[in-house]
Amino acid sequence: MRLLAVLLSFLSHLFGLALPGAAPGAQHFSINVDGREVTGCGDLHVTSDDEIARADEAITMPVGAPVKLSAAKNGGVWIVGSRAAQIEIEACKIGVGSNPSRAQEAVAGVKVQQQGDTISATGAAGSKWHVYFIVRAPNGASVAAESTNGPISLRDADGTFSMQASNGPISISGSRGTINARTENGPISVKGGAGELTLRASNGPLSVKLDGVEWDGSGLTGQTTNGPLSLTVPEGYRSGVLVEADGNSPIRCSGCASARKTWDDDQRRIELGGGPQIIKLTTSNGPVSVVQR
């Protein structure tokens, strides 16, 4: 059941479907982004069987200062590249109640706190509330984000980023720099990218889609435990790619006529491309799918 929940969360985040919240007593609370690019609080469509009240709060930070974001339980973080002179942060505050007055009281009790380089949120005891952070990060920004039961997304950004999610997905698209992503009971998906990427998923899938003709940067290292691994590689990709799995993992390789395969009882390897192997992906106790096209 846990794996099914993780996969549903992964698909929901990947395709922009409703992401359920888990606030006690709030039925069918969800955030829907309709597959659009999230750049502000207005892009988050909120639905609930109960009444909803919303409020937004803006914070700016200098690019040279590291920023740490701790999303509220059942909240999330979206980080997008920006050409602004500062790091711009929107806190999207949501209150849920049985009537409009209670919902307004809940959102009024949400406080966004800044202590040094750390930004977090709290709410009134017994109320139902959520906070989602949207970060517009200029080149060179340093942002760390963590969430519980919510997504973290990084898109079209260049800098230093650290992301840690528990029971939620992490997605990385078109981003470069020094990027570290770790999930517990959640998936990680990567599309494109450059620089130095380090990915760790526990009890969740890892999906990587490479683009271009070669990797620009020091490399990508990804590992998943108790989860499936999928890789898509453009035909003729020049950078060296290594995929490893334990001997019990089923492997499917499509369009891999030029791949070098090593099979034994303890380990299975697929090698693609040429030159140093700067892209290395491994899985333990999970199936592998490799597609070259």
Q: In terms of DSSP H, where are the helices of 148-208?
A: none
Question: What band does 35 get if pLDDT is binned at 50, 70 and 90?
Answer: low
Amino acid at 199: L
Cβ contact 146:183 at 8 Å: no
Average pLDDT taken over every residue of the chain: 88
Q: Over 70: is that where the pLDDT of 17 sits? A: no
For residue 237, the model assigns a pLDDT of: 92
φ/ψ of 285, rounded to 5, equals: 65, 40
> Given this model, what pLDDT does residue 277 score?
95
- What proportion of the chain, given as a percentage, has pLDDT over 90? 73
* pLDDT grade for 4, boundaries at 50, 70 and 90: very low
Q: H/E element holding 11?
A: helix 2-15
pLDDT at 203 over 50: yes
Kindly indicate the confidence band of residue 258, based on its pLDDT and cuts at 50, 70 and 90.
Answer: confident
Residue pLDDT, tens place only, 155-190? 999 999 999 999 999 999 999 999 999 999 999 999
Q: What is the pLDDT of residue 200?
A: 97
Mean pLDDT of 128-150: 95
